[in-house]
Chains A and B, each alone.
Chain A
Amino acid sequence: DAGITQSPRHKVTETGTPVTLRCHQTENHRYMYWYRQDPGHGLRLIHYSYGVKDTDKGEVSDGYSVSRSKTEDFLLTLESATSSQTSVYFCAISTGYQSYNEQFFGPGTRLTVL
């Protein structure tokens, strides 16, 4: 357990509504990531952060934005949710100080967009 929580754990919303998912960590790790998991695709990187207010896009960033105003929180926002964004979303952290920089994952958020 790397002290990572995600909220909400489940959410059902309607097309066109904004949605914000929160990732919270307790250990002040520098690097944070948002992935989405879909059947047949594994996990794909949406956005990542390498420090407070420092973020960048991953491979599937269209339709998503992120913010990191504090070390411990990394927010993922769907400005106008679409059915194609129905997925399981995982937050992950890595320290950036070890050779492996292995990532530790939160419990995931299941989002359904109707």
Chain B
Amino acid sequence: AQTVTQSQPEMSVQEAETVTLSCTYDTSESDYYLFWYKQPPSRQMILVIRQEAYKQQNATENRFSVNFQKAAKSFSLKISDSQLGDAAMYFCAYRSPRSGGSNYKLTFGKGTLLTVNP
């Protein structure tokens, strides 16, 4: 079974600075999908960024980018120019490449609580 580990329960960053959230995973599959979700105090789960394992290029979405190291099974999230609105719980998630039913389910890490200091 796949597992996802987020080793940093809490992180803090100064406004306008850069922060990196760590995520490692364990899988025997060669292709898969990885996601970062953001959960602000409103509790809504918001997809931040996604990565397909077969793609060498790291995904980028505006101020959010990932450092995907397939051999190391590492998928870290970098937030540049941090803003107060970035304060949230961040979850890393894994999905199997196989289609149908439970193979579409997400396996989540336990989350990292990010605080942004003004």
Contacts and interface: CB of A to CB of B under 8 A. Distances in A.
Interface of A: 31, 33, 40-45, 48, 50, 56, 58, 88, 90, 92, 94, 96, 99-105, 107-108
Q: How large is the interface on B (under 10, 10 to 19, 20 to 34, 35 or more residues)?
A: 20 to 34
Nearest to A90: B45
B83 to A, nearest CB: 22
Summarize B's interface: helix, strand, loop or mixed. Answer: mixed
B33 A58 contact: no
B68 interface: no
The 8 A-B residue pairs with the shortest CB-CB distance in the complex, in nearest-first order:
A42-B108, A105-B45, A43-B108, A42-B110, A108-B43, A50-B101, A45-B105, A101-B104
Contacts of A56: 101-102
A106 B76 CA distance: 26
A42 B42 CA distance: 16
Contact of B52 (A33, A99, A103): A99
15 contacts: A41-B110, A42-B91, A43-B45, A43-B91, A48-B102, A56-B101, A58-B102, A92-B45, A96-B104, A100-B52, A101-B104, A103-B47, A103-B104, A104-B47, A108-B43
Contacts, number: 62
Given A102-B35, A107-B44, A42 B101 contact: no
B1 to A, nearest CB: 9
A91 to B, nearest CB: 10
Nearest to B37: A105
Given A31-B104, A33-B105, A100-B52, A88 B47 contact: no
Contacts of A94: 104
Contacts of A105: 44-45
B95 interface: yes
Given A42-B110, A96-B104, A102-B35, 15 more contacts: A31-B104, A40-B110, A44-B108, A45-B102, A50-B100, A50-B101, A56-B101, A56-B102, A58-B102, A100-B33, A100-B52, A101-B33, A102-B50, A103-B47, A108-B44
